[in-house]
Structure 1
Amino acid sequence: MTLPRSRQFLDNDTVAAWIFLTPALILLFIFLLYPIAYLFFLSFTAGSFTSTGLHWVGLKNYLRLLINPDFWQVLNNTSYFAIASVIPSIIIPLGLAALLNRNLPLRGILRSVYFLPSIISLVAAGLGFRWLFQTDGPVNAALNLFGVSPIAWLGDTFWAMPVLILLSIWKQLGFNMVVFLAGLQAIPPSRYEAAELDGANAWQQFWYITLPGLRPTLIFAIVTTVIFTLRSFEQVYVITGGGPLNSTNLLVYYIYQEAFGQFDFGYAAAAATVLLAVTLVLVYLQLRTWGED
């Protein structure tokens, strides 16, 4: 006998499920949904959190973004940084995982060494990179051995961004490699054995067996890497401060400057809303592209 819909909603299993879900839903609302809603509301206001308070300005903050050349430069910087960071952060760990998945000597030690960057504080890593790439630092000293003149890595509008990109790739490499290793070990060895019997070479096995088998892992790695890259703040704050000439200013650091440097919280909220929208669109497109059957 089928119970009425209202009785099904109030049966013991449903009530128990709601009891167990309620604490998680409350935390989700407090720490995720409410902050996003308040950020969206704040983007339509101006003023401060002092006695003057906030006042409604409508779309004024978004119009300011559209006509502000600094904002468009920051968007260009962020796009360049994201593209140049995400692609190597996927390809290099995938290649390393494919190599370390074989029975190589010292494989366990190599896995640990490659994973070390992921557990190092990004602030500490940023300080290390700033020391390495300063004008009289070890990198220029090594280049001098080959007759290359010292390069002002952090003071040059062309070279400063590659230093940040290199740090981002180095920091993400170990995590993605471990993720790909887990995905590779989930692929049944019988598929490779059958491919060898059919005469498939190493490249054909990688293209027709490894990549399709890693599809869910690739989706996860790409999405997490894109999010990690778009929220980059520490390396800019520690190494370049957005300079020289605003050439390394990324969107999160720009939001920080406007909110806590200029105390223009409404304008900063509008920029943060744009960042949130861009991130959601990119993640959606990635899931649609890679998640299709």
Structure 2
Amino acid sequence: MPKIYTKSWLDNDTVAAWIFLTPAVILLGIFILGPIAYLFFLSFTAGSFTSTGIQWVGLKNYWRLLLNPDFWQVLGNTVYFTVATVIPTLVIPLGLAVLLNRSIALREALRTTYFLPSIISLVAAGLGFRWLFQPEGPVNALLNSVGISPITWLGDTFWAMPVLILLSIWKQLGFNMVVFLAGLQAIPPSRYEAAELDGANSWQQFCYITLPGLQPTLIFATVTTVIFTLRSFEQVYVMTGGGPLNSTNLLVYYIYQEAFAQFDFGYAAAAATVLLAITLVLVYLQLRTWGEEN
């Protein structure tokens, strides 16, 4: 009877792999898993680090979140902001990528122009948008020139959030366009040539060749865009400060206010834990959907 050899977990390859992985695992534990564990612990405490110290309060901070109408308003603002930002930030760059993947005039210049917002500081972009949409700014001047009354954009509970959404879309557009361009160039041109020979029009080629070929790229772009949008802070801090009347207060800015303005670290940690849970659930659902389709 032939002897069956089983691979030992102490063989040379395994030992070498662990030697190379250990520094990365240690850094991961120190800078990611450690802070997450401490955040979770902190969400069950109350008090200050400088005066009274911290006390264990159990689920009190989570109960306060459930009963606080401001938290639910902020959560609703975050959902509205995320949905209204993510969908255009995927659709518009996809269309631009399909267009700029073809041989058209000034293609390289257009690619560079659309990508430029991605390398601009979000604080600088926020200051620029605040200037554009101030009561005597260029946007109101343009509206006034065509007979439309000026709008107090950042001081209006209806218009302030769309301005933040517009800034976020503009800022993320170039990055996703480059991602989609890379995905498009990985699709073999022979598929399009065969589709043309079979009489498929441009829309049919997009639906049956481009979208299926871009599926991994779409998942990556969706996950990164959702994460980037959920952690939005700078535009709120620079442009509106969460106002007017809490209408633009997003979850990350709310956590910042509770932690570093109110010094309620336990409550802020509970809100941050909720944000982390929402992010993980959304990423899990997106990855699971992609896995089932493949």
Common fold: TM-score over 0.5: yes
Q: Distance in 2 between matches of 1:221 and 1:145?
A: 39
* Counterpart position of 1:79: 79
* Counterpart position of 2:92: 92
Question: What value does the CA root-mean-square deviation take over the aligned residues?
Answer: 0.9
1:25 aligns with 2:8: no
1:148 aligns with 2:148: yes
* Counterpart position of 1:220: 220
Structure 2 unmatched runs, 5+: none
Q: Distance in 2 between matches of 1:191 and 1:267?
A: 55
Per-residue Cα deviation, 1:16-70 (whole angstroms, up to 9, x for no partner): 1111101100000001000000000000000111242111000000000000000
Q: Distance in 1 between matches of 2:198 and 2:28?
A: 51
* Counterpart position of 1:163: 163
SS at structure 2 position matched to 1:291 = helix
Aligned-partner residue type, residue 283 of structure 1: V
* Counterpart position of 2:191: 191
Q: Distance in 1 between matches of 2:271 and 2:89?
A: 26
* Contact 1:219–1:291 (CA under 8 A) maintained in structure 2: no
Q: Distance in 1 between matches of 2:83 and 2:270?
A: 23
Aligned-partner residue type, residue 279 of structure 2: T
Q: Distance in 2 between matches of 1:4 and 1:216?
A: 36
* Counterpart position of 2:122: 122
1:70 aligns with 2:70: yes
Per-residue Cα deviation, 1:116-148 (whole angstroms, up to 9, x for no partner): 000000000000000000000000011111111
Aligned-partner residue type, residue 243 of structure 2: G
**Counterparts of 1:197-208 in structure 2 under 5 Å?**
197-208=197-208
Q: How many residues align?
A: 291
* Contact 1:237–1:253 (CA under 8 A) maintained in structure 2: yes
Aligned-partner residue type, residue 28 of structure 2: L
Under a length normalisation based on structure 2, what TM-score does the superposition of the two structures give? Answer: 0.97
Aligned-partner residue type, residue 268 of structure 2: A
Q: Distance in 2 between matches of 1:209 and 1:36?
A: 41
**Counterparts of 1:131-280 in structure 2 under 5 Å?**
131-280=131-280
Under a length normalisation based on structure 1, what TM-score does the superposition of the two structures give? Answer: 0.98
Q: Distance in 2 between matches of 1:123 and 1:291?
A: 37
SS at structure 2 position matched to 1:283 = helix
Q: Distance in 2 between matches of 1:18 and 1:273?
A: 31
Return closer, same or farther for 1:197/1:274 CA change in 2, 3 Å cut-off.
same
In the TM superposition, residue 4 of structure 1 has moved relative to its aligned partner by 5.8
Aligned-partner residue type, residue 227 of structure 2: I
Q: Distance in 2 between matches of 1:155 and 1:291?
A: 44
In the TM superposition, residue 287 of structure 1 has moved relative to its aligned partner by 1.1
Q: Where do 4+ consecutive residues of structure 1 move more than 6 Å?
A: none
Q: Distance in 2 between matches of 1:13 and 1:76?
A: 51
In the TM superposition, residue 290 of structure 1 has moved relative to its aligned partner by 2.6
* Contact 1:232–1:250 (CA under 8 A) maintained in structure 2: yes
Moved more, 144-153 or 50-59: 50-59
Q: Percent identity?
A: 84
Q: Distance in 1 between matches of 2:52 and 2:140?
A: 52
Per-residue Cα deviation, 1:215-259 (whole angstroms, up to 9, x for no partner): 000000000000000000000000000000000000000000000
* Counterpart position of 1:52: 52
